[in-house]
Amino acid sequence: MQTLAASEGSFDVIIDCTSFSSTSEIPIQWFKFFLELAPSDIINRWSSSYILNPNTFSQKFLRKLYHLFSGLIFYEQTRRNY
């Protein structure tokens, strides 16, 4: 097992939204804070994300995230990797 900093290849993130509810929403500020603190090489190697079992609440929340972060460079870099 390696940490992300030790590996050199791209990686995927799997998000399990089983039993997601309005009380399980992560504050938007935490996502912004993560993007500020995460090293740029790790962000650039993030290949894609897979969302499992999205229900109505999770779809609404993910749509909100998409609209908030769609203009960021992070999004454009991720889109170019496809």
CA angle 81, 52, 24 (to 5 degrees): 110
**How far is it, in rounded angstroms, from Cα 72 to Cα 19?**
29
Domain boundaries, the chain: 26-80
pLDDT tier for residue 5 given thresholds of 50, 70 and 90 = low
Query: Helices 28-37 and 56-69: crossing angle, nearest 10°?
Result: 50
Note the pLDDT of residue 72. Answer: 65
Note the pLDDT of residue 76. Answer: 43
Note the pLDDT of residue 1. Answer: 59
Q: Which residues contact 39 (CB under 8 A, 6 or more apart)?
A: 5
The per-residue pLDDT for range 20-70, each reduced to its tens digit, is 998 999 998 998 898 889 888 888 888 888 999 999 999 999 898 888 877
Please compute the mean of the pLDDT values over residues 1-18 and round it to a whole number. 79
Residue 40 phi, psi (nearest 5): -65, -30
What's the pTM? Answer: 0.65
Note the pLDDT of residue 80. Answer: 43
